[in-house]
Structure 1
Amino acid sequence: MEEENYALKVFYLGFKYNGFATQKDKPTIEGVLRNIFRNKIYGNRIHITYASRTDKGVHAIGQTVTINVKDINVDEVNTELPEDIAIWAYCKAPKYFDARRCTIYRHYKYIVFKRDLDLEKMKNASKDLLGIHNFKRFCYKIKGPVIRRIYYIKIDKIENGYLTLEFIGSKFARGLIRNLVDLLTRIGSGEIKNLNSVWEYSGPLCMAPPENLYLIDAYYPLKYMISDSGVEKVIKAIHMINEGESDERKILRKHMLKDFWKIMSDLRELSLKLHSTLH
């Protein structure tokens, strides 16, 4: 049997991990996946691609991962994975499909646990970031140009006077979203002012905390199948976000659960449309 290219929708909580990508002697999401696939199920030769290299502490609802194997039993994999990682959808993908190169857009959400920020100032400043720019000045320890396109930034007030910031872009770079959150919140607080454009700002930035950021989706139109065991595991994992039952963790849990149901519904609808189109 020849190997197939499978696309997986992977959920994880990043609290215990040093980011997604494999790092020597440090726990990572990719490291866990490779260990399961290589040593327990599918043998030593494993090729994995992924859509987003999330940082230490950052979570994901719809990370897209590809793996080349002869066959895959998602229910079996989910029983082997720890309680904070789950595969909740999967499909055979085209041979050319590479999650990093082929993903059309990445969609992130950040929850800002600060009050009394000027929403209109933040929204106006965010308009300067839309389109294609060199975002190098807003990234973390990157030497060359960082040419990226941001399609959409949405800033909303939520419960308790807090805010959510959503970013949709072709791709991002290390520290970019968390630095943009810091920039926009400091504009909203009045700490940074008298700018005609955010591109005038050349001062220091302090990346916003990672645990309030999650990847909602890494989108590409594929005909996924939903894994019931994976969905159940995701819901259980999200309900684990209750450390001290603080307002912050309750709100994070609420928003992640709402966004999970939304993306799963959208993915199911897309799969049905693709099925009817192809048949």
Structure 2
Amino acid sequence: MSNEVRDPLLPDRNFISSLQSLADSLQNRVKIEEACDRVVVDCNGLLAERKESKTGGNRTAKKKVVEKISGSNTRTINHHCKRYVALKIMYFGKRFYGFASEAQMDPTIESEIFSAFEKTRLLVGDKKELQYSRCGRTDKGVSSVGQVIALLLRSSLKETDASNENSEEIVFKEQHEQEIDYVGVLNRVLPDDIRVLGWCPVPVGFSARFSCLSREYKYFFWRENLNFLAMEEAGKKFLGEHDFRNFCKMDAVNVHNYKRNITLFEICPSDVRYDGNQLLAFKIKGSAFLWHQVRCMVAVLLMIGQGLESPDVIDTLLDTEKTPRKPQYTMAPELPLVLHSCEFESIKFICSADAGLALRMHLANQCRNYQLQAAIFNDALLSCLPISSGQRSLKGTSKKKASHVPLMSRPTEPSYEERRLKLNFKTFSLSKSS
């Protein structure tokens, strides 16, 4: 017989066990009822979608969808009218890792733009429904004053289904004045080095990439002692359709045709001067460009301008039968390169008066800010100690300028055919091992 005496104030162990069993049973019942509720909600959603498809209505379920788009969390709304819109965008590319956000490197221009879409609640539907396209995929450090993207955005128009506009001819109606001020709304939340310049309604078959007729780049450089006439003579040799495999970074995996058509080459002066030196720009226009094509073209042109190469070297490099392997040379820097404009048929960008005024004031203010920075660096330059005529470098000898090795005497990269052969062999080896 046990001598243990139970405290009458403590509950019986069997009673505690019964309470625990009852609590577990109630918790399981709650989970079952919640699951049933979810099934009912899903069924109601399916019935609503089926009813909508039968009636041809344009109403969607009033719910918010959170979707990962271009590396940023984008909150989209499904119960607003929408329309297909093209946006013209400028950006100063110095601090960005390129335009596109697929490389998972931040910040990119695209990620900043989609962040602005999220803040302004302009996205309608999920990622697959946006029909998003971009005209140019500029690389790290490259700027633009004419980039174009297209996608479905929220619209304030209620009477017409702006998202199903099938007319190829863009007709500007009075109702556009009642539309959302896309330029003003987005520019209020975008960073200082990105701005929307205009917007335009476009037909649903429009693609910012494939509907583009031509792209025009500018590359700025200082005139210094460059031979202007020699560079102009050499640049004219690019005009027409040529194989530019020796003027690009070759992507043998995805690109198999290296012929591109250049329709314009000019050397344009500007009003910008510094210390007696004038700023010029190469203007190059074509239907499409290869990876780093413009920077490679400029690198060779500057060698010609310095008198290090003859203009005839352009002919030699464009002759891929005679020169199947690209000589090794360094591309021109990325910072002076600008995607200047993208040409489309029947596209006219618009901007409200208020948004246009705010845009001009912002850009003028940015110009003043950068001129102030330039003035500070110029003041620092003037404050440097003078260099005596007999001063030597730290090593005690004058720094020698690197001697130029002619392009056609340099080591070469593998040809396209050699790259493809290597890729095919690698693919065959992997398939055989598996």
Structure index of larger Rg = 2
Matches within 5 A, 1:225-240: 225-226=350-351, 227-228=355-356, 229-240=358-369
Mapped to 1, the partners of 2:375 and 2:329 lie a distance apart of 27
Q: Does 1:181 pair with 2:298?
A: yes
**In structure 2, do the counterparts of structure 1 residues 153 and 243 end up closer, same or farther at CA, with 3 Å as the change threshold?**
farther
SS at match of 1:137: helix
- In the TM superposition, 1:21-32 aligns within 5 A as 21-22=100-101, 23-32=103-112
Higher RCO (C-alpha under 8 Å, 6+ residues apart)? 1
Q: Distance in 1 between matches of 2:190 and 2:81?
A: 25
Q: CA deviation at 1:53?
A: 0.9
- 2: distance between equivalents of 1:132 and 1:115? 31
Amino acid at match of 1:112: F
Letter in 1 for 2:332: A
**Comparing both structures, which one devotes a greater share of its residues to strand?**
1
State the 4+ residue runs in structure 1 displaced beyond 6 angstroms: 246-249
Matches within 5 A, 1:85-164: 85-143=194-252, 144-158=256-270, 159=273, 160-164=277-281
What is the one-letter code of the residue matched to 2:198? Answer: A
Percent of aligned positions with the same letter in both sequences? 27
Aligned residue type for 1:37: F
Alpha-carbon RMSD: 2.5
The whole-number CA distance in structure 1 between the counterparts of 2:376 and 2:246 is: 33
Distance 1:78 1:163, change over 3 A: closer
Cα distance in 2 between the residues matched to 1:105 and 1:2: 32
Q: For the structure 1 residues 237 and 102, does the alpha-carbon distance in structure 2 shift closer, same or farther, using more than 3 Å as the test?
A: farther
Using structure 1 for the length normalisation, give the TM-score.
0.80
Q: Say whether residues 1:209 and 2:321 are aligned partners.
A: no
The runs of 5 or more residues in structure 2 that have no matched partner are 1-79, 156-179, 318-325, 379-434
Give the TM-score, by structure 2 length. Answer: 0.53
Q: 2:342 matched to which residue of 1?
A: 218
Query: Helix, strand or coil for the counterpart of 1:95?
Result: coil
SS at match of 1:65: strand
2:359 and 2:365 map into 1 onto residues whose CA distance is: 10
Deviation at 1:5, TM superposition (A): 1.0
Structure 1 position 66 matched with structure 2 position 144: no
Counterpart of 2:364, as a letter, is I
Cα contact 1:88–1:234 (8 A) shared by 2: no
Give the C-alpha shift of residue 131 in structure 1.
0.8
Q: Structure 1 regions of 5+ residues with no counterpart?
A: 250-279
Output aligned runs, 1:30-49, within 5 Å.
30-38=110-118, 40-43=120-123, 44-45=126-127, 46-49=130-133
Rounded to whole Å, the distance in 2 between the matches of 1:223 and 1:156 is: 26
Q: Is the 8 A contact 1:10 1:89 kept in 2?
A: yes
Query: What is the total number of aligned residue pairs between the two structures?
Result: 248
Would you say the 8 A contact 1:135–1:145 is kept in 2?
no
